[in-house]
């Protein structure tokens, strides 16, 4: 079963609005990563947050991590039509594998 579960499964917003996606996981993690996947393309790494970090920023992206609640959120501010994609969280527990969630499909309407 998937370690990470994204919420919501689908999100539709207007250009300029903020988009928030959540990820919950089950076991203790070393780090959590967010990836974007455009339709028919490979995943693109967005941001990595370590278990001892609470918040991280990269451009219009803000990621938070709450290890006590085993959850993370990805905020995209001032969204653009080009942000339309699926967003996945991935967790590293131990060793070398990443476990991906099922993703949130974000649609940004122009």
Partner 1 sequence: DSGVTQTPKHLITATGQRVTLRCSPRSGDLSVYWYQQSLDQGLQFLIQYYNGEERAKGNILERFSAQQFPDLHSELNLSSLELGDSALYFCASSVGARSNQPQHFGDGTRLSIL
- Minimum distance from CB of 104 to partner 1 (Å)? 12
Would you count residue 96 as binding partner 1 (CB under 8 A)? Answer: yes
Would you count residue 65 as binding partner 1 (CB under 8 A)? Answer: no
Would you count residue 103 as binding partner 1 (CB under 8 A)? Answer: yes
| Contact assessment for residue 106 and residue 20, using Cβ atoms and an 8 Å cutoff | no
Strand pairing of 10-14 and 5-7? unpaired
Whichever of 15 and 99 has its CB closer to partner 1, that residue is 99
Would you count residue 48 as binding partner 1 (CB under 8 A)? Answer: yes
In this structure, the dihedral spanned by the alpha carbons of residues 25, 1, 20 and 68, taken in order and rounded to 10 degrees, is: -10
**38-46, 55-63, 65-73, 76-84 -> range binding partner 1 (CB under 8 A):** 38-46
Q: What string of DSSP letters covers 68-96?
A: TTTEEEEEE-S--GGG-EEEEEEEE-STT
Tokens of residue 109, six digits = 């309407």
For binding to partner 1 (CB under 8 A), which residues are involved?
Answer: 2, 30-31, 33, 35, 40-45, 48, 50, 88, 92, 95-103
């Amino acid at each position: 079963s998937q370690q990470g579960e994204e919420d919501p499964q689908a999100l539709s917003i207007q250009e300029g609005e903020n988009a928030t996606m959540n990820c919950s996981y089950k076991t203790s993690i070393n780090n959590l990563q967010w990836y974007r996947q455009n339709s028919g393309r490979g995943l693109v790494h967005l941001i990595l947050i370590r278990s001892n970090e609470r918040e991280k920023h990269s451009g219009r992206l803000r990621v938070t991590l709450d290890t006590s609640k085993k959850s993370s959120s990805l905020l995209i501010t001032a969204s653009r039509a080009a942000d339309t994609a699926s967003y996945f969280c991935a967790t590293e527990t131990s060793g070398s594998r990443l476990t991906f969630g099922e993703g949130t499909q974000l649609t940004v309407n122009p």
